[in-house]
Amino acid sequence: MPELPDIVVLAESMDKALRNRLIEDVTVNQPKCLNVSVRRFANQVRGRRFERSSPRGKWVLSDLDTKWTLAFNLGMGGEIRLHTKNEEPETKRERVVLRLDDGQQVWIHHWWFGHVHLVPKGHLGSHPQIGRLGQEPLADGFTADILHHMLEGRRGWIKKYLLDQSFIAGIGNVYIQDVLWYARLHPKRSAGSLTRPEVEGLHQAIQRVLNEGISYGGGPGEQDIWGNKGRYQEHFMVGYRTGKACPECGTPVEELRVGSTTSYICPKCQI
Pick from 199, 155, 157, 159: nearest CA to 176: 159
The mean pLDDT of the chain is: 97
Give, as one character, the DSSP assignment of residue 189.
S
pLDDT reading at 20 higher than 90: yes
How far is the C-alpha of 19 from the C-alpha of 8, rounded, in Å? 16
pLDDT score for 76? 85
Looking at residue 245, the DSSP 8-state letter turns out to be: B
pLDDT at 6: 98
Domains and CATH numbers, the chain: 4-132 (3.20.190.10), 144-265 (1.10.8.50)
| 150 has pLDDT over 90 | yes
Is residue 77 predicted with pLDDT exceeding 90? no
- pLDDT at residue number 67: 96
What is the pLDDT, as a whole number, of residue 49?
98
CA distance 79 to 6: 10
Distance, CA of 192 to CA of 160 (rounded, Å)? 12
Q: Which residues neighbour 117 within 8 Å (Cβ) at sequence distance 6 or greater?
A: 34, 35, 36, 70, 71, 72, 73, 127
Note whether 118 and 36 are within 8 A (CB): yes
- Region at 167 (left for phi over 0; alpha for psi -120 to 50; beta for the rest): alpha
Check residue 115 and give its pLDDT. 97
Neighbours of 153 (CB within 10 A): 8
- What lies within 8 Å, CB to CB, of 166 at 6+ separation is 132, 133, 134
pLDDT digits (tens, 9 = 90+) for 107-124: 999 988 899 999 999 999
pLDDT one-digit tens code per residue, 246-268:
999 999 999 999 999 999 999 99
- When pLDDT is cut at 50, 70 and 90, the band that residue 230 belongs to is very high
